[in-house]
Amino acid sequence: MPHDHDHDFDGASPAYRRALIAVILLNGGLFLVEMTAGALSGSRALQADALDFAADAATYALSLAVIGQPITTRARAAQLKGISLALMGLAVFGFAVWDMLGPEVPRAEVMGAVGFAALAANVASVLILMRWKDGDSNVRSVWLCSRNDAIGNVAVIAAAVAVAWFNSGWPDLIVAVAMAGLFLSSSVQILRKAGEERAHHRGHAH
């Protein structure tokens, strides 16, 4: 079913702005927690999830900055976010493949505890943003990033259980690769929708 790009929600409401600010603060805080925990525990999955938090905080701030701007500006911002997600996915995939040459066993208890804390924060973010999940490419990209975070947290928790059960680093690396795939998939969705919006605008401009 084609989108009516002229009527997609563009984020221009005080409630949406407040929701974005709350989610930016949550993501910034969780990035610091997860990156520290990832380094201490030796978990690539936690570090991948931490990078996702950092990228989300930055892109949500960009989303906030372009609210109310012309659709071409909002679509360009979404394209920038899509490209950054793709680069992040490729980086996580590259590090995970490198680690496969000699996987170490990360600390499962740290992975699990931090994964649960991050999941709670992300469920809160998803609930805050739920009512705005189907807007323009800029708004849609915010929703996809929040959804990715929640999925990533569940995956980190599952990896922690598997690491502890098998006493192996492979579950951690498998989850990191899966998260890289999720980043790339979301990147394609964001870039496709932003491209459609720019093409739609050019068609109306002529």
User: What are 48-90's pLDDT values in tens digits?
Assistant: 888 878 877 887 888 788 877 887 887 888 788 789 888 888 9
What's the rounded mean pLDDT across residues 131-147? 74
Instruction: Check residue 104 and give left, alpha or beta (phi > 0: left; psi -120 to 50: alpha).
Output: beta
Is it the case that residue 174 has pLDDT exceeding 50?
A: yes
Q: Is residue 6 part of a domain?
A: no
Is it the case that residue 28 has pLDDT exceeding 60?
A: yes
| Residue 186 near residue 143, CB atoms below 8 Å | no
Q: What is the pLDDT of residue 8?
A: 65
More confident residue, 6 or 16: 16
Closest-CA residue to 161 (of 150, 148, 149, 175): 175
Q: Is residue 9 part of a domain?
A: no
Q: What is the pLDDT of residue 79?
A: 84
Q: Is residue 7 part of a domain?
A: no
> How far is Cα 193 from Cα 137, in angstroms, rounded to an integer?
6
Q: Is residue 135 part of a domain?
A: yes
- Percent share of the chain, pLDDT over 70: 89
> How far is Cα 112 from Cα 35, in angstroms, rounded to an integer?
14
Q: What is the pLDDT of residue 11?
A: 66
Could you write out the DSSP letters of every residue in 19-68? HHHHHHHHHHHHHHHHHHHHHHHT-HHHHHHHHHHHHHHHHHHHHHHHTT
| Residue 93 near residue 177, CB atoms below 8 Å | yes
Q: What is the pLDDT of residue 206?
A: 57
Q: What is the pLDDT of residue 43?
A: 84
| Residue 183 near residue 85, CB atoms below 8 Å | yes
- pTM, two decimal places: 0.69
Q: Is residue 119 part of a domain?
A: yes
> How far is Cα 53 from Cα 80, in angstroms, rounded to an integer?
16
Q: Is residue 1 part of a domain?
A: no
Instruction: Give residue 19's pLDDT band: very low, low, confident or very high (50, 70, 90).
Output: confident
Per residue in 98-121, pLDDT tens? 887 766 788 888 888 888 888 888
Amino acid identity for residue 109 in this structure: E
Q: Is residue 3 part of a domain?
A: no
Q: Mean pLDDT check: name the lowest of 70-79, 131-140, 170-179.
A: 131-140
Instruction: Give residue 4's pLDDT band: very low, low, confident or very high (50, 70, 90).
Output: very low
Residue 178 lies in domain: 14-205
Q: Is residue 153 part of a domain?
A: yes
Number of domains into which the chain is organized: 1
Amino acid identity for residue 89 in this structure: G
Averaged pLDDT of the chain: 81
> How far is Cα 144 from Cα 83, in angstroms, rounded to an integer?
14
Question: CATH no. for residue 30?
Answer: 1.20.1510
What's the rounded mean pLDDT across residues 122-138? 78
